[in-house]
Amino acid sequence: MDKHLTDEEKQKKYHAYFTNGDAAKMLIDMIPDITGKVLEPTCGDGKLIAALFVRRREEGIHDLQTLDDLTAVEIQKDHYDSVVKNLTALKNYHLDKEKSND
């Protein structure tokens, strides 16, 4: 579809600007009540979603509850693929961390 477009051209066409990990954490940390429903209307590569999972884990909220509370939208397949890749890596990191604590 848009595989021939450069990142800069995609930014102009889709207004796609990505949030870095530090900024994502800062934004999520600004949410006073992290226990409610969340809508992420433009996932990008999933940095905000990943920060949300980390914060909710810190609050003792199980990942399955976070999935139930989260509605995330991404219209670009390559960005969606990045979200899946990044969240899978986060899940695997979390599972490995749990195993090392046993």
Domain boundaries, the chain: 7-101
pLDDT of residue 4: 75
pLDDT for res 95: 64
Give SS3 for 92. helix
| Residue 73 near residue 40 (C-beta atoms within 8 A) | yes
pLDDT confidence of residue 58: 94
pTM of the model: 0.77
The predicted-structure confidence for 72-81, as pLDDT tens digits, reads as follows 999 888 889 9
What tens digit of pLDDT does each residue of 7-43 get? 677 777 777 777 888 999 999 999 999 999 999 998 8
